[in-house]
Amino acid sequence: MNFARLTPEDLLRPLNEAEQKHAPKELFVAGDSGLLRSGPAVSIVGSREATPAGLARADKLARLLVKQGVVVMSGLADGVDTAAHLGAMRHGGRTIAVLGTPLDQCFPTKNRELQQEIMRDHLAVTQFPSGTKVGKHAFPMRNRLMALLSDATVIIEAKDGSGSLHQGWEAIRLGRPLFLAKSLFDAADLEFPREFERYGAEVLTDESLVTLIEQLPQGPRGAVSQIPF
């Protein structure tokens, strides 16, 4: 399988000053490198130890997005990420995996076949050259890159201190829309949803999902007035 070396500008467009702050100088990709330019992309992220309800929510959101021509992006982790990738593929859409490993490695290893399929038929992106040894620091870096590459981020499930929050804060810093599943606000033991809300994050509802899709770059394909979530 052929890997390519590109820059963030190759995948997106010229970056502004805020985007340049954490942007890697180079990226390594496998698959359809034009996928990011083909239409809007939304990240679906969340807990590796997601509940059945969280997994179902990620799958449903992926289905609704791909029906509107939106590319689903996630980080190939267990739980919500895997459900998002599989949901997009199952419903005939396109997906992008932003990796916390080089392209020649896979974590978790049980997602190796999924990673291979995404690299072949969709797009995988990483900032780590092949052969690089990576540690836990790589995953917050992955999440910041995902925030840069996507037009909006949705957090499905997470705990205070979760790695997904790195992406939430980076999305806010970049001025990208950030949405949180309503169940996160319903959890009395969580502090981060209301903290994010103070900085502009929105609750994901039927109405806000319609608004999100309508505001994405290049516009949706088809009417979005009746999207149940």
pLDDT at 135: 86
The H-or-E segment that residue 42 falls in is strand 41-45
CA atoms of 157 and 179, how far apart (whole Å)? 11
Gyration radius of the chain's alpha carbons: 16
What's the per-residue H, E or C state across the chain?
CCCEEECHHHHCCCCCHHHHCCCCCCEEEEECCCHHHCCCEEEEECCCCCCHHHHHHHHHHHHHHHHCCCEEEECCCCCHHHHHHHHHHHCCCCEEEECCCCCCCCCCHHHHHHHHHHHHHCEEEECCCCCCCCCCCHHHHHHHHHHHHCCEEEECCCCCCCCHHHHHHHHHHHCCCEEEEHHHHHCCCCCHHHHHHHCCCEEECHHHHHHHHHHCCCCCCCCCCCCCC
- Per the document, the length of the chain is 229
Residue extents of the structural domains in the chain? 20-211
- Other CB atoms within 10 A of residue 69 CB: 18
The span from the CA of 113 to the CA of 102, in Å, is: 15
Say whether 229 sits in a helix, a strand or coil: coil
State in Å, rounded, how far the first CA of the chain is from the last one: 38
Which residues in the chain show pLDDT less than 70?
Answer: 1, 218-229
Q: How far apart are CA 82 and CA 80, in angstroms?
A: 6
Residue 51 CA to residue 157 CA, distance in Å, equals 8
Structurally, at CATH architecture level, domain 20-211 sits in: 3-Layer(aba) Sandwich (3.40)
Q: In this structure, are residues 200 and 172 in contact, taking their beta carbons and an 8 Å threshold?
A: yes
**The whole model's pTM is what?**
0.91
Task: Give me the pLDDT at residue 218, please.
Answer: 62
Quick one: pLDDT at residue 119?
98
Residue with tokens 């896979």: 106
